[in-house]
Amino acid sequence: MKKVAFITGILGQDGPYLAKLLLEKDYEVYGLIRRYSNPSFENLDYLGITNQVQYVEGDMTDEGSLMNIIKSIRPQEIYNLAAQSFVGSSWDQAKLTTEINSLGVLYLLNSVKFFCPLTKFYQASTSEMFGLNNDNGYQDENTAFKPRSPYAISKLYAYWMTINFRESYNIFTSNGILFNHESPLRGIQFVTRKITDGVARIKLGLTKELRLGNLDSKRDWGFAGDYVEAMYLMLQSDKPDDYVAATGENHTVREFVEEAFKAAGMTNFNQYVKIDPRYLRPAEVFELKGKADKAKKILGWQPKVGFKELIKMMVDVDLKRLKKT
Ligand code: NAP
Ligand code: G4F
């Protein structure tokens, strides 16, 4: 009998990478899609797995739909990746962000409790929860949370609810506290993909400038394909727990821009980049750098793709995509 996994957020960045990994391990993979007139399967198409996933319709804000799905497929593993995941929009859409990212997780956990309490549950927690706390120069599982956005606050509720179901009902629930991870499948709003797409457009003469916000923010950027392995390993462990996944290295947005221009064979990036106050945030998280020693030691997890390799991969794919259009 094949193991059954249920992934929410299947159409996003991480969902397709995780689905590919699980399909390669011979899982039967179900993915949650919300009702759309015209859903985009582009990211699954990119990985060549669109027809290997079974789709179930529901919404993180609709408890009944989640209960029905869990009751009917009774998966062995649930990976909850669905979220309003863009920090920048979370101030303007705080209620929606909370309904999806906080209450949606409660609904899923309740479904597990009622219909399949032996199911293992992964929650996509985030380094954003650390917010301003950079006391040691890094963040790990022992760092206190100081969230700075409605997004981070909504994720903190989900983090604690995930732990509460473990402690109260003995359900196998684990939080992956993942630092930023990127790929050619990254949404265009996020700074890395916005930069690699923008650089590719400039290189091809399709635009003349790249408008950005705070260039001094530092992020610990890894490759999404490596991070879905950490998710998988967390649910294969003997006991549920919470783990940081990070590269341990951080860079400014400015360094990312410079490297992306270099990857496209251009050096004079200053002439193209314009600071646009529309992209500044009401409260910024200035520096994130993770220490993933626990995941390395207990799960044997290790990120493989480095900063420059990641940027080159993203720029090359964006150049190819745009040349085709
Ligand atoms: P993403 O590309 O934004 O994907 C999120 C997915 O959630 C989308 O497919 C979206 O569906 C789905 N979704 C949103 N609202 C929903 C709703 N009401 N009902 C059902 N599905 C809904 O995010 P990602 O980068 O893959 O990240 C995956 C998860 O990890 C997220 O929870 C994110 O917050 C968390 N995380 C990400 C990072 C990172 O650096 N990428 C780091 C730490 C944590 P549609 O396609 O229909 O919009
Ligand atoms: O790419 P970002 O929008 O990612 P952010 O805010 O770090 O959040 C991402 O990572 C989190 C994990 O730490 C996830 F939980 C979350 O779901 C998401 O995947 O912004 C990165 C940095 C910020 O400091 C932002 O202010 O880049 C800065 N930035 C500068 N100019 C910009 C821009 N960000 C965006 N999106 N667009 C800009 O023009």
Ligand 2 mutation target, pool 190, 195, 276, 281, most atoms within 8 A of CB? 190
Taking alpha carbons only, the member of 12, 45, 48 closest to residue 31 is 12
- Classified as helix, coil or strand, 100 is helix
Does ligand 1 come within 6 angstroms of the Cβ of 32? yes
- Both tokens of 94, joined, read 């705080």
- For 147-196, what is each residue's pLDDT tens digit? 999 999 999 999 999 999 999 999 999 999 999 999 999 999 999 999 99
Residue 39's pLDDT is: 86
Helix axes 253-263, 307-324, angle to 10 degrees: 60
- Classified as helix, coil or strand, 82 is coil
Does ligand 1 come within 6 angstroms of the Cβ of 126? yes
SS3 annotation, 111-146: HHHHHCCCCEEEEEEEHHHHCCCCCCCCECCCCCCC
Can you tell me the distance from the alpha carbon of 102 to that of 231, in angstroms, rounded to the nearest whole number?
A: 19
Does ligand 1 come within 6 angstroms of the Cβ of 105? no
Does ligand 2 come within 6 angstroms of the Cβ of 196? no
Residue 136's pLDDT is: 85
- Classified as helix, coil or strand, 228 is helix
How far apart, in Å, are the Cα atoms of 232 and each of 134, 155, 253?
28, 20, 29
Ligand 2 mutation target, pool 180, 221, 287, 314, most atoms within 8 A of CB? 180
Residue 135's pLDDT is: 80
Residue 324's pLDDT is: 85
Q: Are 234 and 173 in contact (CB under 8 A)?
A: no
Residue 36's pLDDT is: 86
Tell me the CA end-to-end span of the chain in Å, nearest whole number: 44
Q: Which of 99, 128, 182, 258 is catalytic?
A: 128
Which DSSP letter does residue 285 get? -
Q: Are 284 and 217 in contact (CB under 8 A)?
A: yes
- Both tokens of 6, joined, read 């249920």
Q: Are 292 and 301 in contact (CB under 8 A)?
A: yes
Task: For the beta carbon of residue 249, count every other beta carbon within 10 angstroms.
Answer: 13
Whether 17 is catalytic is no
- Both tokens of 211, joined, read 């408008």
Whether 28 is catalytic is no
Can you tell me the distance from the alpha carbon of 19 to that of 9, in angstroms, rounded to the nearest whole number?
A: 10
Which DSSP letter does residue 278 get? G
Q: Looking at ligand 2, which residue's alpha carbon is closest to its atom 11?
A: 180
Ligand 1 mutation target, pool 6, 8, 14, most atoms within 8 A of CB? 14
- Both tokens of 246, joined, read 């990070």
Q: Where are the domains of the chain?
A: 4-181+222-245, 187-219+250-284+305-324
Q: Is the pTM of this model over 0.85?
A: yes
How far apart, in Å, are the Cα atoms of 134 and each of 11, 69, 139, 213?
33, 40, 6, 22
- For 117-142, what is each residue's pLDDT tens digit? 999 999 999 999 999 998 889 999 99
User: Which residues, at least 6 apart from 48, have a Cβ–Cβ distance to it below 8 Å?
Assistant: none
Q: Are 224 and 185 in contact (CB under 8 A)?
A: yes
Q: Which of 151, 159, 227, 243 is catalytic?
A: 151
- The low-confidence residues of the chain, meaning pLDDT below 50, are none
Reply yes or no on domain 187-219+250-284+305-324 having CATH 3.30.930.10. Answer: no
Q: Looking at ligand 1, which residue's alpha carbon is closest to its atom 30?
A: 124
Taking alpha carbons only, the member of 102, 108, 150, 111 closest to residue 129 is 150
Residue found under tokens 């597990």: 112
Class of domain 4-181+222-245: alpha beta
Tell me the torsion sign for CA atoms 93, 86, 34, 73.
Answer: negative
